[in-house]
Each structure stands twice: as structure tokens, then as C-alpha cells.
Amino acid sequence: MPSILKPLFLRRSCFCAVLLAYVCLQGVAAEACDATGDTPADMARLHFLVPGGAGGGWDSTARAVGEALRRSGLAARVSYENRSGGGGGVAIAHFIETAGRQQNTVFVGSTALVIRSLGGLLPQDIDELVPIASVVADYGALVVRADSPLQDFAQLSTAVAENPRQNKVAGGSVRGGMDHLVLELAMIAAGHPAGRVPYVAYDAGGQALTSLLSGETQVLSTGVSEVAAASDQGQVRILAITSPERLPELPEVPTLLELGVDAEFANWRGFFGPPGMTEDERKRIACVIETMTRTPEWETQRSRLALTNFVRRGTAFDAFLRDNRRQLDRLMDSVRAGKKAATQ
């Protein structure tokens, strides 16, 4: 820790000690982050295992977090390892295989890996890893071209359900992948049958946006971060988003919830430890990450990512993951069942 920060650190540890005492009395000591004794809020080194290539979503998240940790002095050294392949499967397999010598290594995971695990597309399920903490989330956005006749989500969902031939939906993931599921979620919540969406798969959000702009497709389902720039430029209109509340960057875009459509969905990104990680280790890293998300250095990095803070750790993260998994599992089941019914 740089000497300049020492007074600050001491003050914080005093405060934390008081807080710790209070929390101990409450009997939930294991949940609190404190900067004293055996759980210091900084660490010598942290290694990121990124399941995708340089420049992708997992990679940019890892590098943003690593940079904020280094600049805020919470971690002295950070390093990154890109192990792409099999949609994340290669990195998960490697992490499990070498778990014994992966101290101070965290794996970057996201909703997409839960979806692939549930779909049986990964040789090893992501729930074999130990959840540490989530940091950011992107929310789903339902988008049309600026000159589209569709004005709101109600018109959009009716048009897609009743006239699928003229209203194709683009997304930046495979069929059954995240962008497809988000749209199905919204459609089901709006009272339309599952598994009937005319979904066209593109390799990435940018390609899907191109198809919307060229008029190949009429609706786009993708992450808010993928279309924020295009919406800013007036090329597209975002009709609804899947966040619990409106986003500060898009104050005029309604959430599905406030439109009376019970569909909330967060595409979170977070960190996982190797199987067999001790509870102490897990808490130590989680606390470092949580402390990091309150630094101004992180704010700079986060705004570059154009993502929303989504910090969960400890039992809260465990519970969130369980719910998230259940939601996705149920959704994927009903989409499959709906598709079957449609083809019979």
C-alpha cells in the first residue's frame, strides 16, 4: 500500500473495527468485509483466468477490474490469462483440472456460462466453481430502427407474435442463447405463447445491430451496452429494458416492469474460485473486490465499460445465482416445450 494512503487506511480500519464489533453482536460476522486482522482488504497478487479472447466481454471486465485494483493499491500485481475455446468450456476444464495450484486465481464468469451449462453445451458445469462476487451487469434491450412504425413494447410484442413473417428479431447469440431467451422472457410475460419468436442468430451484438440498420430484421434484442451508442446517435430507439429500475444513462427508456410486464433480467459478470477454495480465501478475495467497487478508480473503469454496478458477494451472491439458474432453467424449458408444440 502506498504510504500516502496509510492515514486513510488506518481511519478506515478503526471504523471497520467498530463495524465488526457491531456485526459480531448481530451474529453475521462471516458476511461483513473488514480491514483488520486475518482478512486484510488488499492482496499481493491476483491472476485472472479469462475464458475468452482478448477484446471480448469477459476480457474487458477482467482488465477493468484488474486495472482498478492495481491503481487503487488494493492489489500489488495483477495478471491475465486468456484461454478461449468451447464457449468457455476449455477454461472451466483447465481451472478444475489445475485447481490445486490456482491460489489467487479467479475465473471470469457471466450469465452466458450458466445458460450454456444448463443447455448441456459445456463439458463441466459452471456451478462446479466457487462463486466469489459479481461486479457489473448489462441489461437486455428491445430495440427498433429510428423510423420503425413500432412505438412501444406493447406494439412490438403484438407485431412479433401476430406477424412473425414481417417482424424478424435479430440477436447477438445463438438460438437458445441469451439474446433469444431475453426476448422470449418478455414475450411470455406479456402473455404470448413461448417458443414462437422468429429469431435470427448473429455472431455478435454488433452484427445484429447491422442487420437491424440494413432492414434485414425489424427488431433487435441485445444488451444495453451494445446499442447505447447507436441510440445516442439517433439511429435506433430502445423501447424497453430489463433492469429493475430505469438506468441513469437512459432516463427516458421504460423498464418492462413499469410497463406491467413481469420480466427482469440481468446479464451479470462476476468472479469464481477453483473447486475446493476455502471459505476464508473466498471471503478475502470477495472483500477486496467489493472494496474496489467503491473506489474512484473503479468508477473510471466502469464508465469505460458502459455497464452498471452489480455487486453481490457471499451468501447474497449464492442466493442470486440459485434464483438466476432457476429462472433460466424454467425459461429454457418453456421455450423448448413451446417450440415442440408449435412444430407438431
Partner 1 sequence: MAGLEVATRPTNLLLVSAGCFAGTLIGMLPGLGPVSAIALLIPVTYAFDPAGALILLAGVYYGAVFGGSTSAILLNAPGVAGTVATTFDGFPLARSGAAGKALAVAAYASFSGGTLAAVMLLVAAPALATVSLSFQSPEYFALMVLGLIAVTAFAGEGGFAKSTLMAVVGLMLATVGTDRTDGVMRFTFGRLDLLDGISFLLLAMAAFALSEVLLAALNGETRQTTNKLADMGSLKLSRKEVQDVAPAIGRSSLLGFLIGVLPGAGATIASFMSYAFERNLAAPKAQKEFGKGSLRGLAAPESANNAASSGSFVPLLTLGVPGSATTAVMLGALISYGINPGPSLFVDRPDVFWGVIVSMYVGNVVLLILNLPLIPYFARILALPQTFLVPLIVFFCLVGVYLVSFNVFDLYLMIAFGAVAVVLRRFRYPMAPMIVGFTLGGLLETNLRRSMVLYDDSFSFVWERPITLLIMVLTVLIVLLPVLRKRWRRAVTD
Task: Report helix angle 111-118 to 178-189, nearest 10.
Answer: 80
Query: Does the footprint of partner 1 cover residue 73 (CB under 8 A)?
Result: no
Instruction: Please say which residue, 216 or 280, places its beta carbon nearer to partner 1.
Output: 216
- Identity of the residue numbered 51: P
Q: Which of 230, 253, 257, 263 binds partner 1 (CB under 8 A)?
A: 230
Could you say which of 142, 174, 241, 331 contacts partner 1 (CB under 8 A)? Answer: 174
Instruction: Determine if 14 is a binding residue for partner 1 (CB under 8 A).
Output: no
Pick out residues in 82-101 that bind partner 1 (CB under 8 A). Answer: 83-87, 89-90, 93
With CB under 8 A as the contact rule, which of the stretches 3-11, 35-43, 116-124, 240-248 interacts with partner 1?
116-124
Q: Which residues of 83-103 are buried (b: 16+ CB within 10 A; e: fewer)?
A: bbeebbbbbbbbbbeebeebe
Binding residues for partner 1, rule CB under 8 A, total 52
Among positive and negative, which fits the CA dihedral 170, 167, 159, 336?
negative
Binding to partner 1, residues 179-198 (CB under 8 A): 198
- Render 162-215 in DSSP notation, one character per residue: H-TTT--EEESS-TTSHHHHHHHHHHHHTTPPTT---EEE-SSHHHHHHHHHTT
Write down the least CB distance from residue 85 to partner 1, Å: 5
Q: 88, 32, 71: which is closest to 286 by C-alpha? A: 32
- Residue 176 in contact with partner 1, rule: CB under 8 A: yes
State in angstroms the smallest separation of the CB of 93 from partner 1.
6
Out of 3, 233, 343, 344, the only residue in the binding site for partner 1 (CB under 8 A) is 233
Q: Is position 229 an interface residue for partner 1 (rule: CB under 8 A)?
A: yes
> Closest approach of Cβ 271 to partner 1, in Å?
19
| Shortest separation between residue 280's beta carbon and partner 1, angstroms | 31
Indicate whether 165 belongs to the interface with partner 1 (CB under 8 A). Answer: yes
What's the burial of 19, exposed, middle or buried (CB within 10 Å: 0-12/13-18/19+)? Answer: middle
Q: What is the DSSP string of 83-125?
A: ---GGGHHHHHHHHHTGGG-TTEEEEEEHHHHHHHHTT-SSS-
Q: Give the list of residues 6+ apart from residue 154 with CB closer than 8 angstroms, or none.
A: 190, 259
**By CB under 8 A, is residue 54 in contact with partner 1?**
yes
Contact segment (CB under 8 A) with partner 1 among 8-16, 18-26, 31-39, 222-230 equals: 222-230
Burial of 196 (0-12, 13-18, 19+ CB in 10 A): middle
Contacting positions for partner 1 (CB under 8 A):
53-55, 59-60, 63, 67, 83-87, 89-90, 93, 116, 119, 121, 123, 165, 168, 174-177, 198-204, 206-207, 209-211, 213-217, 228-230, 232-235, 304-306
